[in-house]
Amino acid sequence: MSAAAAEHDPTALDPQRIRLGDRVIYQWCPDGILQAPDVSAFVMKHWNLVVTGRNWNTVTKLAALLDAT
C-alpha cells in the first residue's frame, strides 16, 4: 500500500462496502450511488488521482467486447 493510501484509506469511508484492489477500488452501492460515500472525491483530494466509475453492467459489457476480439 502506498503512503497516500495508508494515510488516507478510502475503505474507512464504508469498511463493509469498499475494497482496494490492484489499481482499482471496488465499492458496493446497494442503496444507489447517491446514498454511498463519495469515494472518487476522496481519492481525487487525498491521492491526487483522476477517478472514473463503472457500474457492473458496463464492466460485463466491456469484458464481453474483449472476449469477442
Domain positions in the chain: 3-68
Residue 59 clears pLDDT 70, i.e. is over it: yes
Q: Provide the pLDDT confidence category of residue 1 given band limits of 50, 70 and 90.
A: low
Is 56:49 a contact under the CB 8 Å cutoff? no
**SS3 state at 21:** coil
Query: Residue type at 56?
Result: W
Name which of 57, 52, 26, 54 is nearest 40 in CA terms.
52
Q: What is the pLDDT of residue 40?
A: 94
Give the separation between CA 10 and CA 39, rounded to whole angstroms.
Answer: 6
Helices (H) and strands (E) in the chain, counts: 3, 2
Task: Summarize pLDDT for 22-55 with one digit per residue, the tens.
Answer: 889 999 999 999 999 999 999 999 999 999 988 8
